[in-house]
Homo-oligomer: A and B are copies of this chain.
Amino acid sequence: MMAGLRERKKEQTRRRISEVALRLFDERGYDAVTVNEVAEAAGVAKVTLFTYFPSKECLVLDAVKDDTAAIVAGREAGQSPFDALREHYRGMARQGTGEVDVEGMITRVRVISASPALLAGVHQTNMGQRYELATALAEAMPGHGLAPQIMAAQVTAAVTTLQEVFFHRLSMGVPLEEAGRLLGEEVELAFDLLEHGFSSIKGEKS
């Protein structure tokens, strides 16, 4: 395999495009920057850019995937799908997202939060995962009719909301540590709601 000069160059180009794009979007706003500009600034042709990233959105969102279906499928024996998910998000809140480049992540979040189009894109991604999660749940607990689908939708919705609030805080300048702590609390709230239902809250209405 010889280390592969070709491979290295590809990865390098991909990174360069991604970084240049993120910088431009951050400076002037996602909508105000055209893909032509990104390509030119990165020193590649538009066509090349689109071979690396299938769409403009992906320039920002490709790095923000989160595979909930895999969590369910890969859970330990004896653990319910629900508990596996809860545990996963607990861990995520505790130790941060694990991304190496924190600075870049915050920039990315800022860019996303500033663009309705990108926020919509994140939703779409989450919705796609909802479908996969539904499939995984249906396998894990057969014979419950529509319940897996509805549960998948609810889990996805809750997680999306948590993610959104987390992103919003970061883009507002809340330090990562603090945001992580708040997220931790809210993960518990969200999963309690999922597990025990709204009735557990309606009762304590002030």
Contacts and interface: CB of A to CB of B under 8 A. Distances in A.
Interface string A184-203: 00100110011111111110
Size bin of chain A's contact surface: 35 or more
Chain A at the B interface: SS class:
helix
Contact of A141 (B127, B141, B205): B205
Given A150-B193, A195-B197, 5 more contacts: A82-B202, A143-B206, A150-B157, A154-B158, A197-B200
How many identical subunits does the complex contain? 2
Contacts of A206: 142-143
Contacts of A154: 154, 157-158, 193-194
A190 B150 contact: yes
A107 interface: no
A73 interface: no
A189 B147 contact: yes
B194 A195 contact: no
A161 to B, nearest CB: 4
Nearest to A144: B201
